[in-house]
Structure 1
Amino acid sequence: MSEKVILLVEDNPDDEFLTLKALKKNNLANDVVVARDGVEALDYLFGTGIYEGRDTSFMPEVMLLDLKLPKVSGLEVLKRMRSDARTKFVPVVVLTSSIEERDLVESYQLGANSYVRKPVNFIEFTEAVRQLGLYWMVLNQLPNEKMSRS
């Protein structure tokens, strides 16, 4: 597996399918790890649970995070990420169907890098995922791992 991983945290199988299809269509689906609830996302990030032993020196290039997740909410995942030095700088794009203003505000307060409402139309959704993928996987620059921990 290459170092450039997208972590997709999505509990809706239809949205997961559409996101993966959009990433693949735009040649951005090399390494996508799917977590279907908040616990699975945290396990992946911190190398616990089903991801026990994962090399946590490699973090996702970007996380696409739904908010309304079973077990642990997307907002709680974000809160735990930002409170840990290992995951503090992992870019998080909240990709949600929530239209609640408080979700948007709280996402940014907890350290989201971007907040995108899922378009209902497949063509618009594919374009949104394409733009997200290109920006976060190609254009965005992350701090050097060693420098960000000092």
Structure 2
Amino acid sequence: MSDWHVLFIEDSDEDVAATVRGLRREGLQLVFHRCPTGDEALDYLYQRGRYADSAKAPRPNLILLDLNLPGTDGRALLAVIKDDEDLKSIPVVVLTTSSNPKDIAACYRRGANSYQVKPVDYGHFKQALQTTVDYWFQTAILPNA
């Protein structure tokens, strides 16, 4: 596979910019798609509305999900993804500021594949993201679309 599609569901422009910078890797073709709300992410995943053209909404190989989103929040979105037979095989990494043990437990119960708290320090944040990319795109074997 030459291109890996990452769906980033995040409402903060700053977090998106920092994450994309941190995820760029030499020799790894990552194509980022961003949805700033849970409702837009549902349109993307189900190829509805402006995402009806599958070229605009390719199936992601990995979803990075913030919990605190406007509209349908990340918790509800995770439940939809993991309850859907066609979507549940897509790995979902919760990437959030919440270190609340209740959020962590709830996300894993709902089927999150990983839960990462966004470090405040950019150096630590970048290292955590690079570890994530190394694992999901160089170590783990992902299902075919």
TM-score by length of 1: 0.87
Q: AA paired with 2:47? A: G
In the alignment, the residues of structure 1 paired with residue 34 and residue 100 of structure 2 have an alpha-carbon distance, to the nearest angstrom, of 25
Q: What do the CA deviations read for 1:109-141 (whole angstroms, capped 9, x no partner)?
A: 110000000000000001111110111122211
1:119–1:57 Cα change, 3 Å: closer
Q: How many residues align?
A: 143
Q: What is residue 126 of structure 1 aligned with on the other side?
A: 126
Q: What is residue 53 of structure 1 aligned with on the other side?
A: 53
Structure 1 unaligned spans of 5+: 146-150
Q: Does the 8 A contact of 2:5 with 2:62 survive in 1?
A: yes
Q: What do the CA deviations read for 1:76-101 (whole angstroms, capped 9, x no partner)?
A: 11111111111011000000001211
Q: What is residue 17 of structure 2 aligned with on the other side?
A: 17
1:53 Cα deviation from its structure 2 partner? 2.5
Q: AA paired with 2:138? A: V
In the alignment, the residues of structure 1 paired with residue 117 and residue 78 of structure 2 have an alpha-carbon distance, to the nearest angstrom, of 17
Aligned pairs (5 A) from 1:105-120: 105-120=105-120
Aligned pairs (5 A) from 1:95-114: 95-114=95-114
Partner of 1:18, secondary structure, is helix
Greater than 4 Å deviation, 4+ residue runs: 55-58
Aligned pairs (5 A) from 1:62-141: 62-141=62-141
TM-score by length of 2: 0.90
In the alignment, the residues of structure 1 paired with residue 139 and residue 58 of structure 2 have an alpha-carbon distance, to the nearest angstrom, of 19
In the alignment, the residues of structure 2 paired with residue 90 and residue 19 of structure 1 have an alpha-carbon distance, to the nearest angstrom, of 19
Q: What is residue 43 of structure 2 aligned with on the other side?
A: 43
1:4–1:29 Cα change, 3 Å: closer
